[in-house]
Chains A and B, each alone.
Chain A
Amino acid sequence: MSEQDVLNPKHMPSNPEQATLEGKNKFLGFWFFLGGETVLFASLFGTYLALRDSTNGGASSQDLFGLELVFIMTMLLLTSSLTSVYAMYHMKNNDFKRMMIWLGITVALGLGFLGFEIYEFVHYIHDYEFTMRSSAFGSAFYTLVGFHGGHVVFGLSWIIALMFRNAKRGLNLYNAPKFYIASLYWHFIDVVWVFIFTVVYLMGVL
């Protein structure tokens, strides 16, 4: 049996992402990485909580934040989380085409989220002259929310790259772990966003 036969079995196992040693290692290593990411975001959240009232006489969170926009962004990201669950559901059923469709929807929703976030930042900078250098609050806000936005950009590039690279390969035991890990990352981005909309935006307008 050649390597190709091993990676393309007649019957796909029910958990193709963990059928190979490489897949198992990636799975474990990635959860370890997510633990580290949690600490990273905690330090940014802690900094934001400490500095959010230091507005240096400039715009405060009450002046800036509009809940409508944040609500739309939250719905987009939350829905994209469900669509990537659908993608992994079809992956486990060995239905490559449907998996790609759902990943495509996930990417579209993620791009929508990103568009709104860029609009939001441009709006703050042009209409309120609120930048990273305005105040300690500005620095903390753009670092925290911008870091999350950076994760969205990275996650989207990751999923798009996987989709293009594997478009003609179909699903096998080589790329199943890759898709699974990328979807875990995407869920983690949503986990962070739940705290951002609660701690930054909702607590910011209260």
Chain B
Amino acid sequence: MTDKSMTTIDQQQQYEQEKRKQEMKQQVITFALMIIFTIVAFGMVMAELPKLFVIPIMLILAAVQVGFQLYYFMHMSHKGHEMPSMMFYGGVFAAFLTILALVVLVWW
């Protein structure tokens, strides 16, 4: 009986190990994409493209890169991250208001 339950645990562990291995591969791909985004951002600035074109694209690249970091590297895409997401996005919302307020105060 105990032997049988042990093999189930082993199988379960093997399955989870395999799953993690797949996930690790995805994370390396994510990393490669992040490197590419960074190079594109630096490249656009060095190529001296028009400011109004570069700045929005750069900010979008940064936002996507941060999304990769949060969802893949920090595992926010995994189950059980509902409360953490809520708390973190609460912070992001307050951060947005802070930046908006400071920038509007100066530029108005």
* Complex interface bits, B58-70 against A, C-beta within 8 A gives 1, otherwise 0: 1101100110011
By the criterion CB–CB under 8 Å, are B55 and A14 in contact?
A: no
Residues of A within 8 A of B (CB-CB), count:
48
CB pair A81 B69 closer than 8 Å:
yes
Option from A46, A50, A75, A194 in Cβ contact (under 8 Å) with B65: A194
Complex CA gap A137/B9 in Å reads: 60
**Residue of A38, A51, A195 with most chain B CB atoms under a 10 A cut-off:** A38
> Which one of A18, A85, A202, A205 lies within 8 Å of B73 (CB-CB)?
A85
Instruction: Select one of A41, A42, A67, A85 contacting B96, CB under 8 A.
Output: A42
Query: Known interface pairs A46-B102, A71-B42, A190-B69. Does A198 touch B58 (Cβ–Cβ under 8 Å)?
Result: yes
Interface residues as binary, B36-66 with A (CB distance below 8 Å gives 1, 0 otherwise): 0010011001100001001100110110011
- The answer to whether A164 has its CB under 8 Å from any CB of chain B is no
In the complex, identify which listed stretch (A27-35, A124-132, A150-158, A170-178) lies at the interface while the others stay far away: A27-35
Contact B88 A202, beta carbon cutoff 8 Å: no
Q: How many residues of B contact A (CB 8 A)?
A: 51
A98 to chain B, nearest CB (A): 12
CA distance A27 to B94 in the complex (A): 21
1/0 per residue, CB under 8 A from A, across B66-108: the answer is 1001100110000010011101111110111011011101110
Which residues of the partner chain B approach A14 to less than 8 Å between Cβ atoms?
A: 13, 16, 20
Say yes or no: A38 contacts B88, CB within 8 Å. yes
